[in-house]
Chain A
Amino acid sequence: MKRYSAFAIAREALRHHSGWDRAWASPEPKKKYDAIIIGAGGHGLATAYYLGKNHGIRNVAILEKGWLGGGNTGRNTTIIRSNYLQDPSAAIYEKSRSLYEDLSQDLNYNVMFSPRGVMMLAQTQHEIRGYKRTAHANALQGVATEFIGPEKVKELCPIINIDGPRYPVLGALWQPRGGTARHDAVAWGYARACSDMGMHVIQKCEVTGIRRDGGKVVGVDTTRGAIDCDKLGIVVAGHSGVLADMAGFRLPVESLCLQALVSEPIKPCMDVVVMANTVHGYMSQSDKGEMVIGGGTDGFNNYTQRGSFHHIEETVRALIETFPMISRLKMLRQWGGIVDMTGDRSPILSKTPVEGIFLNCGWGTGGFKAIPGSGWGFAELMATGHSALCAEFSLDRFRAGRFIDESVAAGVAH
Chain B
Amino acid sequence: MLILQCPCCGVMADETELAAGGEAHLKRFGPGSSDDDFESYLFNRVNPKGVHFERWRHAYGCGKWFHAARCTATLEVFGTYSAQVTEPPQEIRDKISARRPGWRWREFG
Contact = CB atoms under 8 A, between A and B. Distances in A.
B partners with A: yes
A241 B45 contact: yes
Given A309-B1, A310-B1, A399-B39, A304 B73 contact: yes
B19 A301 contact: no
Nearest to A299: B20
Interface string A289-333: 000000000011111100011100000000000000000000000
A250 B44 contact: yes
Assign chain B's interface to a size class. 20 to 34
B45 A398 contact: no
B39 A398 contact: yes
Given A302-B75, A303-B49, A308-B1, A343 B43 contact: yes
Contact of B73 (A299, A300, A303): A303
Interface string A209-251: 0000000000000000000000000000001011001000011
A83 B43 CA distance: 27
Interface stretch (A48-56, A143-151, A171-179, A252-260): A252-260
Interface residues of A, number: 22
A242 B54 contact: no
A300 B21 CA distance: 8
A83 B16 CA distance: 33
Contacts of B43: 252, 343, 398
Interface in B37-90: 39-40, 42-49, 52, 54, 72-75
A254 B39 contact: no
Contact of A250 (B19, B35, B40): B40
A308 B23 CA distance: 20
Contact of A300 (B44, B49, B54): B54
Given A239-B49, A300-B54, A399-B35, A252 B72 contact: no
Contacts of B42: 343, 398
Contacts of A399: 35, 39
Contacts of B48: 241-242, 245
A246 B48 CA distance: 12
B74 A241 contact: no
B2 interface: yes
Contact of A299 (B19, B23, B72): B19
Contacts of A300: 2, 15, 20, 54
Contacts of B20: 299-300
A304 B75 contact: yes
A238 to B, nearest CB: 9
Interface of B: 1-2, 15-16, 19-20, 22-23, 35, 39-40, 42-49, 52, 54, 72-75
9 contacts: A245-B48, A250-B46, A250-B47, A255-B47, A300-B2, A304-B72, A310-B1, A398-B42, A398-B43
Given A241-B45, A252-B45, A300-B2, 9 more contacts: A241-B46, A251-B47, A252-B43, A253-B47, A255-B49, A302-B72, A304-B73, A304-B75, A398-B42
Interface of A: 239, 241-242, 245, 250-255, 299-304, 308-310, 343, 398-399
